[in-house]
Structure 1
Amino acid sequence: MVERKHLSASFVSTIVPTTPRLPRLPVPDLHQTLQRYLASLEPFVLEGYGRDSAQLQTMFATRKQWADDFERGVGSVLQERLRALDRASPNNWLDDNIWLKKAYHEWRAPLVVNSNWWLSFKNDQTVPQEVLLGHGGDVAKTGCTAWQVRRAAWLIHRLLEFKQKLQKQLVYPESTKTGIWFRHSASKIFNVCRIPQATCDTASSPPPPSLQSGRTVLLFVHDWMYAVEVLNEDLTPISAGELERALLQVVFDVSRRLDAEERAVPISVLTADERDRWTENYQHLLSLSPYNREIATIVHHSIIGLSLDHYTYALSSPPQQNPLPTPDTQEEMDAHLHNIRSSHPAHPGRNRWFDKPLTLIVEANSRAGAMGEHSPVDALVPSIVCDYAVVHDIEPDEFSAPLGLSEHEISAVPRRWRRLDWDVDERIRRECLEAEERVRNIVKDSDNSVLWFDAFGTDWIKRASLSPDSFIQMALQLAWYRTRHCFTATYETTLTRLFQNGRTETVRSLTADTRAWVLAMQDPSTSPQTRFALLQTAIKTHANLTGAAMRGRGIDRHFLGLRCMMQPGERHELFEDALFTQSQTWKLSTSGLSAGDQWRGTGFGSPEHDGYGINCELLYLYTAGFEVIKFGIESKYSCPDTSTRIFKESISSALLDMQTLCSQASHAHL
């Protein structure tokens, strides 16, 4: 079979003896960080005091004085402590000591919506249209379908194949710098799990290869949990056909349990609860029996999670339409994103384990996606792994048996699964019901949708001699200002993959140059030539900030490290300034995934109640033959100042206005 290449040829090779080394993430220069910080405050000061020049100068002078005093005094002490921490750290000062705790594990908010990312896959072209529309039949009255099981088996098989190739250095070899970074990052996706603990969570360690629990996938069907062994003892993946038969055996087991009028206690919903509450319930579960401790170990050791949902969620009433909405329509895609994000709204938080870094979710009509806990890696890494799984549709030759085998036909197949039934008491039953109500409130408040903007894309932006990423950031700034009539601190993620164990740094997209351009766009007296010149300046400034952040010269990770070095009783006005807090209150939180046509939509939650979480992709749809810019947008219904629908419209309007501006400037130049 011929497979379309989505990995650069430079990352696919045999093992090369020489292995490059990545440099350590630097401790940024204190003076440079403070100067960049002062520059980042300019738009906030201008916004508050721009019409009062005397007040403006006073505000700037005060912040400069604080920065100078900080640099000469306690700041230099903190900087030296940070350097000492770095010297004592095996990899770097940030990843080894600070980032996981402060960015993720100390957060006590529920993971669902607030922290976990979600991703909707393109549909498999081998699945019949009638199945996608909800006419897929039913396996033993479970609600699951044969095509659903087959696609799940194929996706798991492909993921295991990628994992094996990665370990053998057949993809992203360690002979490349990108390979070093990616192999280290991808290793954190598999066979691990977040573990709830009071005040600060932790992460499990990967099991030794000899343990059977490390060769399993954690499977959810009707809220029942199963461990399915998907690797042989020599750690090679079982065939796609064997995987399909193992999954079917579990589905038939679920059918027998349903026929016996059993109902699962939805333990998994506890993982979507507030972290300290989940910690208490987790400890109580472990105290109930040694068997529960064994289950917890299997959950932590399992390679990834797999959820087979016994329904296909639709936004319209009744919940299960017949037929379902046409694939790739706005309504259908939004419904899919909602189910991946948090499960069916009628029973939110179920049939998932929100602490796993990667869970595949396949609905009854075979549409699929992924959801993951964010702390081990950033969403780009699992998206690359999933891209390998999704890019190639189901290969019928990989399945020797016909679709939809009967229970009798697979009864002789060796059993590769076991039930994971927790011992529970009335407290746990009650806690599951109460947790579900709390999760329901979170889910009901999440205004989550996807925007496919197809008027133009990356190629057009490049022809205008502008950076696509910076162009999109300017569009988001303009859209925000038009809907809120003010400016806000904006977080854009950039990777520090140039460094050993690099994670991310913040690009502060709101700058004085950004502000000047946005205001010019709103001023009808400003000429197109002036507006375009201001846009060019703003984009250049943003690109420079992005380059500095990628090279480990950002502001926010350095400030985080410095603040963590403060000892009891130490303080400084710099960190207590209202503008310091305002400049880090990310009401626009933005990120991006790798370009590709495998995703229908993506998403993550807004970190602020009155803000937006926005994921963006710029790509070419090979199958459709056109470019599209995709935005996954989340806000809160309960906030009167936000609306995902209105912001989608504002983004589209901003992009079209920017295209018109570039065209006007080009004609004027000619």
Structure 2
Amino acid sequence: MAEARSAVATPRVQKKDLGTTDSFDDLVKSYRQMIIRNYFRFRNSIRNGVWPTSTNNLGVACGFSLYLLEYEPASAHALTAHLKQAVAALPLPSKTPKWLANLVGSVGLSFVFFMILMKVRQYLLRILLAYRGWMYENVREVSWKNKLWGLTVKFVSGYQPSLYSCQRSLPRMPVPAIDETLSKLLDSLKPLCSEEEFKDYSKQAQDFECSIGPRLQRLLYLKSWWAPNYVSDWWEKYVYLMSRCPLVINSNYYALDHYIWTPTSRQVSRAANVVHSILSIKRQIDREELQPLLLRNTIPICMAQYERLFSTVRVPGEEIDELLHFDSQESRHIVVWRQGLFYQLGIYDDKNQLLSVTVLEKLFQDIIDDADKHKESVSESERSVAALTGLPRTEWARILRENFKSGINKDNMDLINKAVCMVVLSDKVPENLSEKGKMLLHSDGRTLWCDKSVNVFFFPDGQCGLNVEHSMADAPVMGHVWEYAMTMEVIERRYLDSGQVMPPPKSFKPGNVTHPRRIIWDITDSLEKQINKAYAFNQKNNDDLDLVIREHTKFGKGVIKKAKISPDAFIQISLQLAYYRHTGRFCQTYEASATRLYQNGRTETVRSCTEESSAFVRAMVSSKMSKEELLQLLRVAGIRHQKLYRDAMNGLGIDRHLFALFVVSKGLGYESQFLESVMRRPWTLSTSQQPQQQIQANTPDINLEPFRKMCSPGGGFGPVSDEGYGVSYMLPTEYNIFFHVSSKRSCPTTDSSKFADLIFKSMNDIRLLFDS
């Protein structure tokens, strides 16, 4: 047992730990690191506080006003006279030298001018960014009004903003009018309900609007005035942290690396390079050096979610989980998994430099060698501790409280919680793309530490991917970081011909490195039973997942755009046609849309099953209309979908507003049959388009032949409903589309392979309408 082995183990005390000189050196290094860290924090707080102005503006204003006061040029006589009057009014001693009075006056006046300019620009920019007319115009046919608006935004905005500089200038998300939300809701229910059900919903909606609805709405208005976002904190708390379902399949999602191309077949080399890229961008986030993303190279979006991407863990609670985030002072290591053994690996040398790729490559190989050597000497239960993180949250919280709150297990848990991320060095190679997706989403049931914000997974043949916890940030945020790591492998030479990593430049002077330390658990008999039970639960849960990843190669978004239809609308309508052919009915469909144009914005739902799309689907199935008539119905449905998607991005969706009303009603103790019935309706189809091309760099055109195989197929997630499908899709090039389709094998009416076939058939059939 691990308990006996750790009890007799000799403490690993180095000689230098007994001295005083090295301890003093460590203290000096720690103090220096603290000074550097506080400098960056102070600098960033100043830069973010004054943006879109700059402290350079203050310096220029001081220098210019001092020049006017000292030299009194004739060309600026009037302005100089006003400045001299202001200086004369200052409460300075009568014997103050003229040069000193001018200096104090120029600094004071420039500071007042600077503060006024800062506030004017901040409020003007917020007003400008609240305008949304630009979104409803075709990007290729921009009106003069919107061109002028865009130029004004660029003029008012500052230059070189840091990661969070734009946050203060972003508008707050508006609370939609309650009558508009109810009207949109009823429109979305028409194709899903019988005439009798729709009448019942209409009556309930009318009663709600005339009774408690306005009272709840007023409280939302009140919250929207003082909170950065009226719904995002509740969404995180009640949808994510209060969910008691296991994180595996139900919450966490996965992301794949390049499609066919792998830059090296060496596992440790790929791991060293990708981990180093992730750590580099993590340092940019810590120092706020990462540039904020801009839509159309003009409009900033909210970057708040980046703060908790790394060094974050979701700690289970018996009623509600807790998100813990650690700063770079506490989080200075990663935890590496191999053969069920965990290793603590420091990521900085004694010069406070990130470990180089060559050092990481060697340390990863050392970990593999040590784990493969000692795996047989460690009990099966100790190598399966990670299985506990796949349990339902209340059960895992109870086990955590009983077994991991003291002694060596508590220390180990603290190490994992404070790690930047988890790195998995697997010994299994996936057979195909679908198998790879399954291994990344749930692995074998005892490998992934599901509570960690990020698990970076490496296969023996050099392939890799991610498993990401969802509550701390949405997929586009992690997708941005992952795209950076993948793109750098394409545009830079990161590997030697042998497959090993490219060594750092000779100018890099590495410091001393702390070697990895194996983590040893204290496994009692009762904990061993719980681990084995958790592993069995996870295996059963994993076996129930039916995941298929397919590439559609007959055409991509290039053909769709030529037909003057939004590619996203085309795919969503194809999904409706596929589901109708599959079941003979329509279902409530969820498509995720981002609301990051607003402070702390996260997501909104696009209800993509509309009257217009259902009319087209019925017409396609009936085969009674001509191609021209069907094409007209298709374009009407596409326009409707685009309008709904843009409304959702603008905070004018349906479901976040209804959710917030529901939360307020529960908080006040009101019972609303209408809200209860609406919130209980299942999302049979849960869909999401994955973002791409988010990095702002001189990247090659992915549509060119050499680079098409280097694109990523994206990622996926499990089904939201046990009787439905989860569908994510990626349109990386003009020529192909990737689909990730998931469902439950235990449901007799779902089949991911069959549904994927129907999606492809529906897309190909719709394309025939405009093939000419």
TM-score > 0.5, shorter chain as reference: yes
Pairwise mapping of residues 112-123 of structure 1 onto structure 2 (< 5 A)?
Answer: 112-122=248-258
C-alpha distance in 1 between matches for 2:524 and 2:750: 42
Unaligned 5+ runs, structure 2: 1-153, 502-510, 694-709
Amino acid at match of 1:290: G
Map 1:244-393 onto structure 2 (within 5 A): 244-258=361-375, 260=377, 264-287=382-405, 289-314=406-431, 332-343=432-443, 348-393=444-489
Give the structure 2 partner of residue 468 of structure 1: 567
1:28 has 2:173 as partner: no
Change (3 A) 1:424 1:178: farther
Q: Which residue of 2 aligns with 1:142?
A: none
Alpha carbons of structure 1 residues 261 and 161: separation in structure 2 relative to 1, 3 Å = closer
Contact 1:123 1:367 in 2 (8 A): no
2:712 touches 2:732 (CA, 8 Å); kept in 1?
no
**Which residue pairs with 2:232 in the alignment?**
95
How far apart in 2 are the matches of 1:417 and 1:379?
31
**Whole-Å separation in 1 of the counterparts to 2:450 and 2:255:** 14
Contact 1:120 1:600 in 2 (8 A): yes
Q: Which residue of 2 aligns with 1:205?
A: 325
Write 1 or 2 for the structure with the bigger share of helix: 2
RMSD across aligned C-alpha pairs, in angstroms? 2.9
> What is the aligned partner in structure 1 of residue 601 from structure 2?
502
Aligned to 2:314: 194
Q: How far does the alpha carbon of each residue in 1:603-656 deviate from its partner, in whole angstroms, 9 at most, with x for none?
A: 100011111001111121xxxxx6111111101111111111111110010001
CA spacing shift, 1:125–1:523, aligned 2, 3 Å: closer
2:455, 2:546 → 1: CA distance?
22
Deviation of the 1:601 alpha carbon: 4.9
Q: Deviation digits for residues 57-98 of structure 1, max 9, x if unmatched?
A: xx5554334323322320011111222333343x222123x1
Q: 1:42 to 1:366 in 2, by over 3 A?
A: same
Over the matched positions of the two proteins, sequence identity in percent amounts to: 28
* SS across alignment from 2:549: strand
Deviation at 1:415, TM superposition (A): 3.0
Q: Is 1:40 aligned to 2:191, yes or no?
A: no
Contact map agreement 1:111 1:354 (CA 8 A) in 2: yes
The structural deviation recorded for 1:249 is 2.3
- Alpha-carbon offset, residue 281 of structure 1: 1.1
One-letter identity of the residue aligned with 1:351: T
**C-alpha distance in structure 1 between counterparts of 2:500 and 2:572, whole Å:** 47
Structure 1 residues 380 and 233, CA, compared in 2 at 3 Å: closer, same or farther?
farther
Structure 2 partner of 1:491: 590
Alpha-carbon shift at residue 428 of structure 1 (Å) = 1.3
Q: Find the partner of 2:719 among 584, 587, 606.
A: 606
| d(CA) in 2 for partners of 1:26, 1:278 | 38
Given that residues 240 and 399 in structure 1 are in contact (C-alpha distance below 8 angstroms), is that contact kept between their aligned partners in structure 2?
no
Aligned residue identity for 1:641: T
Aligned equivalents of 1:184, 1:30: Cα separation in 2: 28
Counterpart of 2:411 in structure 1: which amino acid?
E
8 Å contact kept, 1:15–1:169: no
Question: Secondary structure of 1:526's match?
Answer: coil
- TM-score, normalisation: structure 1: 0.82
Pairs within 5 Å for 1:44-63: 44-45=192-193, 48-49=194-195, 60-63=198-201
TM-superposed deviation, 1:556: 0.6
Paired with 2:768 and 2:374, the residues of 1 have a C-alpha distance of 62
Report the secondary structure of 2:467's partner residue.
strand
Cα separation, 1, equivalents of 2:517 and 2:523 = 18
Instruction: Say whether the 8 Å CA contact 2:292–2:301 is kept in structure 1.
Output: no
SS in 1 for 2:383: coil
Corresponding letter in the other structure for 1:93: Y
The structure-2 alpha-carbon separation of the partners of 1:241 and 1:640, relative to structure 1 and needing over 3 Å to count, comes to: same
Q: Shift of residue 493 of structure 1?
A: 0.1
Shift of 1:458: 1.1
Moved more, 645-654 or 31-40: 31-40
| Deviation, structure 1 residue 252 | 2.7
What letter corresponds to residue 333 of structure 1 in structure 2?
L
Say if 1:615 and 1:633, in contact at 8 Å, map to a contact too.
yes
Alignment-derived partner of residue 320 in structure 1? none
Q: 1:178-193 residue pairs with structure 2 within 5 A?
A: 181=301, 183-193=303-313
> In structure 2, how many angstroms separate the alpha carbons of the residues matched to 1:69 and 1:34?
11
More divergent stretch after superposition (24-33 vs 593-602): 593-602
Structure 2 CA distance, aligned partners of 1:239 and 1:528?
A: 61
Distance 1:506 1:251, change over 3 A: same
Higher relative contact order, structure no. (Cα contacts within 8 Å, ≥ 6 residues apart): 1
212, 216, 228: which one pairs with 1:78? 216
User: Where in structure 2 are the equivalents of 1:171-182 lying within 5 Å?
Assistant: 171-173=290-292, 181=301
Residues 1:238 and 2:355 are matched in the alignment: yes
Of 32-41 and 391-400, more deviation after overlay is shown by: 391-400
Q: 1:433 aligns with which of 516, 519, 532?
A: 532
Q: CA 1:444–1:205 in structure 2 vs 1: closer, same or farther (change >3 Å)? A: same
Q: How many residues are paired up?
A: 586
Q: 2:732 aligns to what SS in structure 1?
A: strand
1:655-670 correspondence runs (5 A) = 655-663=763-771
Alpha-carbon offset, residue 351 of structure 1? 2.0
- Residues 179, 79 of structure 1: CA spacing in aligned structure 2 closer, same or farther, 3 A cutoff? same
- Contact kept, 8 Å, 2:302 with 2:600, in 1: the verdict is no
Distance 1:638 1:64, change over 3 A: closer
8 Å CA contact retained: 1:199, 1:276: yes
Contact kept, 8 Å, 1:123 with 1:368, in 2: the verdict is: no
Contact 1:453 1:628 (8 Å CA) reproduced: yes
8 A contact 2:172–2:224 mirrored in 1: no
For 1:421 and 1:170, the matched residues in 2 are separated by: 38
Cα displacement string for residues 96-152 of structure 1 (whole angstroms, at most 9, x for unaligned residues): 3x1112211111111111111012211685656xx5xxxxxxxxxxxxxxx111111
Stretches of structure 1 lacking an aligned partner (at least 5 in a row): 1-9, 50-54, 132-146, 315-331, 405-411, 621-625
Max Rg structure: 2
Between the aligned partners of 2:303 and 2:668, the Cα distance in structure 1 is 39
Q: Against the structure 1 CA distance between its residues 235 and 465, is the aligned structure 2 distance closer, same or farther, given a 3 Å change threshold?
A: farther
- The alpha-carbon distance between structure 1 residues 556 and 178, as it changes in their structure 2 partners (threshold 3 A), is farther
Q: Which amino acid aligns with 1:160?
A: L
SS at match of 2:191: helix
* Alpha-carbon spacing, 1:276–1:179, altered in 2? closer, same or farther (3 Å): farther
Q: Conserved in 2, the CA contact under 8 Å of 1:268 and 1:352?
A: yes
Residue 244 of structure 2 corresponds to 108
User: Which amino acid in 1 is paired with 2:526?
Assistant: R
Instruction: Give CA-to-partner distance per residue, 1:554-613, whole Å, 9 cap, x none.
Output: 111111111111146522342244xx357x411100012113554235210001111100
Q: Structure 1 399/68 Cα, relative in aligned 2: closer, same or farther at 3 Å?
A: same
Contact 1:121 1:368 in 2 (8 A): yes
Pair 1:259–1:391, CA change in 2 (3 A):
same
> Residues 473-517 of structure 1: CA distance to partner in whole angstroms, max 9, x if unpaired?
000000000001000000000000101111000000011111111
Note if contact 1:307-1:362 (Cα within 8 Å) is conserved in structure 2.
Answer: yes
Distance in 2 (CA, whole Å) between partners of 1:123 and 1:548 is: 34
Shift of 1:258: 3.2
How far 1:401 moved relative to its partner? 11
Answer whether contact 1:119 1:603 (CA < 8 A) is retained: yes
Query: Aligned with 1:619: secondary structure?
Result: coil
Q: Does 1:156 align with 2:255?
A: no
Q: Check if 1:165 corresponds to 2:301.
A: no
Q: Rate the CA distance shift 1:175–1:654 in 2: closer, same or farther, 3 A.
A: closer
Give the C-alpha shift of residue 183 in structure 1: 3.6
Q: Do the aligned residues in 2 keep the contact of 1:166 with 1:183 (CA within 8 Å)?
A: no
1:265–1:42 CA distance, 2 compared to 1 (3 A): same
Moved more, 384-393 or 115-124: 115-124
> Among 581, 589, 601, which residue is 2:686 paired with?
589
